[in-house]
Amino acid sequence: MGESNEARKALTTKSIEDKVLVLEDIASKVRPYVDGLPSSMNEFRDWEDAALGVRKIRSPSSTNEKLAPHNKSLVDRANTAMDRVQSMKASRKLRVYVSVAQQLKKLEMTTADLEEDNRRLVSEVLTFKHRCDVALERLGQAQIDRDVARRDLEALRIEFLNATNSKPRRVK
């Protein structure tokens, strides 16, 4: 059975409060900001980051002061915190801070990409080596065939000259 309206309302309010606390923490400590922080109420609702403990808010009306007056103080705090974080970004006094979870995710993606590139390159090298081996084998056979053809041609030339009573000469 579904949740009651009051339970959903309380859960949404808790989600808003969690997000506000994270934003206020970032803004108040004057530490480098986290990439991907919201700058509008729409972004605030859609914002989710498991590493920071914030979830997406599904109900757009929960951050509307007129439709959800019980969340007005939280919405005001969220707007204030977003403004402070945005001013931190605009001032460029602080370098970009990326959470450890985001850095780890990027490294895992990079590692996976490198492993895939490595597998692809090893495969290409093995294919190239095989083609080189085949080409060298064909070249060796072609050289043998050329030498046989030269001997046959020289033998035919000598036979022709003997048949026409000409003095055979060796061609260098």
pLDDT 10s digits, 47-82: 887 777 788 888 888 887 777 888 888 888 888 888
Task: State residue 93 phi and psi, 5-degree precision.
Answer: -80, -20
- For the question of whether the overall pTM of this predicted structure is more than 0.75, the answer is no
User: Can you tell me the mean pLDDT for 140-166?
Assistant: 90
Query: CB–CB of 30/88 below 8 Å?
Result: yes
The mean predicted confidence, pLDDT, of the chain is 80
Q: Is residue 120 scored above 70 in pLDDT? A: yes
Give the per-residue pLDDT at 160. 86
Report CA-CA distances (Å) from 16 to 81, 101, 127, 145, 154.
13, 22, 57, 83, 96
pLDDT confidence band for 96 (50 / 70 / 90): very low
d(CA 154, CA 163): 14
Report the C-alpha gap between 58 and 3 in whole angstroms: 14
